[in-house]
Amino acid sequence: MAHDVFLSHSSKDKTVADAVCARLEESELRCWIAPRDIRPGAEWSESIVKAIERSKVMVLIFSDHANQSTQIIREVERAVNKRIAIVPFRIEDVMPSKSLEYFISTPHWLDAMSPPLEKHIDYLISTVRAILDPTKSLPQSQQLVAPTPVPRPRQTFSVPLPHWARDRRVIGMIIMCALVVFYLLFRTPAPVESIFVGTWNTRMPLSGAQVTQSNQPDGTFVQSISLHENGTLFSKNTQYFMRTESGAERMISWKAQNAQTAEITSLVPNELWSQIAFASAPGSNVMQEISAHAGKTVWKLVRTESDGTQVWSYDPTFDGKQWRMSFEVGRDGTYRFAAELTLYGKIRARDQKYASMTDGGVTYTGDYDVIDDDTISVVTPTGPIVWKRTEQDGGMHASRTQRRGRN
């Protein structure tokens, strides 16, 4: 459904975010807010990116929690790149971090720290309306009217021109030649060959994680890393075990802390720890962070479905990147584990040389070979990676073969 406003907020500020969303929608300002508007089964990161791109205004519920959230920094950065107006709605007396300050040093700050909150939301509504339609949202008495300019007598000058300057065809040819010379001298080749533009999939050789990357013509990309595991949870001799669909088994321990949290040992697949280390910058403390989490992880119960299925979540941060993990277990013992990470960065791919760098400083370099219009092989120090164009993206490049001019 179409919307006007994207609500960016920390999950810990959900109460305020829901109140703001309700009042905006009561005022006929359509909103998009997570997790309410994420369709069941849809990729979280893809839904966020699409919702931001389709918005006209972003309202940032700004608090200390939001200030420390790497996910919110990515959402704000995405809105800035798409030139979407951002209205920070500050509910706590904190100053933005350097990362956020770079993006939201704007005149649209709204302080909502003093009660009642409803008064500040009303002002937020008028601000959003003014951004969406400046001529209709403000009362007529508050609209600025430009003064009528005082006419001045026009002064004319007559300068004799050479005969060739009076011929429009000559002038047009001179301008065209100047533009051609300027283009040939100062043109900059695109950072990526046109064949790279679009959405691509690959599977990491070590962890088996699925990677989807959307490349833009300017070299920027959004990358989603996901790893899934399905299987059965069972007990044997008072011990709990997990058996994957491939038949591998591992023992886990489950200790409930209260009705909503549990301390679980060895629930996260070992392949995921390898992927987390691979997605981290060289020289980081990620191995120490993994050691602190690999043994015992504390999971929170998100909800219990009508069929008795329990949905648990665990969102740790490694090397400054927040992973989203979920664990669903049914009454019959079947389970589904999922982990996801969203990365942003830039690539350069020309003349069979490939270089990729994420915002977190992770760099991959190597040579590439275009196998066909839908297949690219990149040879890296850790081995070859084969990228396949997604089916959704394939229709946009049906005439790719005719355009293989390596622009």
Identity at 227, one-letter amino acid code? L
Q: Tokens 């609500």 identify what position?
A: 7
Mean pLDDT over residues 249-267, rounded?
85
User: Residue 330 in contact with residue 308, Cβ under 8 Å?
Assistant: yes
Residue 35 phi, psi dihedral angles, 5° rounding: -90, 5
Q: In what order do the strands lie in the sheet with 85-90?
A: 31-33, 5-8, 57-62, 85-90, 110-111
Residues 85 and 25 in one domain: yes
Of 118, 140, 162, the position where a domain reaches its end is 140
Residue 406 lies in a domain: yes
Residue 400 has pLDDT above 90, yes or no: no
Q: Which has more confidence, 311 or 105?
A: 311
Residue 219 lies in a domain: yes
Mean pLDDT over residues 334-350, rounded?
90
List the single range of 107-116, 236-245, 307-316, 342-351 with lowest mean pLDDT: 107-116
Residue 335 lies in a domain: yes
Residue 296 has pLDDT above 90, yes or no: no
DSSP secondary structure code for residue 36 in this structure: T
Residues 208 and 315 in one domain: yes
Distances (CA, A) of 311 to 203, 261, 328, 330, 388: 26, 12, 5, 9, 32
What number of other Cβ atoms are within 10 A of residue 192's Cβ?
22
Residues 116 and 202 in one domain: no
Mean pLDDT over residues 55-59, rounded?
94
Query: Residue 407: its pLDDT value, please?
Result: 46
User: Residue 199 in contact with residue 390, Cβ under 8 Å?
Assistant: yes
Give me the number of domains the chain comprises. Answer: 2
Select from 57, 21, 60 the least CA-distant residue to 129.
Answer: 57
Identity at 138, one-letter amino acid code? L
**CA dihedral defined by 385, 388, 389, 392, rounded to 10 degrees?**
-130
Residues 102 and 200 in one domain: no
Residue 24 lies in a domain: yes
Select from 273, 276, 275, 277 the least CA-distant residue to 250.
Answer: 273
Residue 108: band (very low, low, confident or very high) from pLDDT cuts 50, 70, 90: low
Mean pLDDT over residues 217-230, rounded?
90
Q: Which two tokens stand for residue 324?
A: 């989203």
Residues 216 and 120 in one domain: no
Straight-line distance from the first to the last Cα atom of the chain, in angstroms, rounded to the nearest whole number = 37
Mean pLDDT over residues 129-150, rounded?
55
Query: Residue 311: its pLDDT value, please?
Result: 94
Of 140, 172, 192, the position where a domain reaches its end is 140
Residue 209 has pLDDT above 80, yes or no: yes
Select from 8, 4, 5 the least CA-distant residue to 75.
Answer: 8
Q: Which H or E element spans position 6?
A: strand 5-8
Residue 146 lies in a domain: no
Q: Which domain holds residue 41?
A: 5-140
Residue 340 lies in a domain: yes
Q: Kindly report, residue by residue over 356-381, the tens digit of the pLDDT.
A: 888 766 677 888 889 888 999 988 76
SS percent in the chain: helix, strand, coil, step 5? 30, 35, 35
Q: What is the CATH number of the domain that holds 30?
A: 3.40.50.10140
Residues 332 and 238 in one domain: yes
Mean pLDDT over residues 230-254, rounded?
87
Residues 285 and 383 in one domain: yes
Residues 118 and 195 in one domain: no
CA–CA separation, 126 and 265 (whole Å): 51
Query: Residue 98: its pLDDT value, please?
Result: 82
Residue 172 lies in a domain: no
Residue 336: band (very low, low, confident or very high) from pLDDT cuts 50, 70, 90: very high
Residues 126 and 187 in one domain: no
Residues 353 and 294 in one domain: yes
Residues 113 and 196 in one domain: no
Residues 118 and 193 in one domain: no
Q: Which has more confidence, 276 or 15?
A: 15
Residue 157 lies in a domain: no
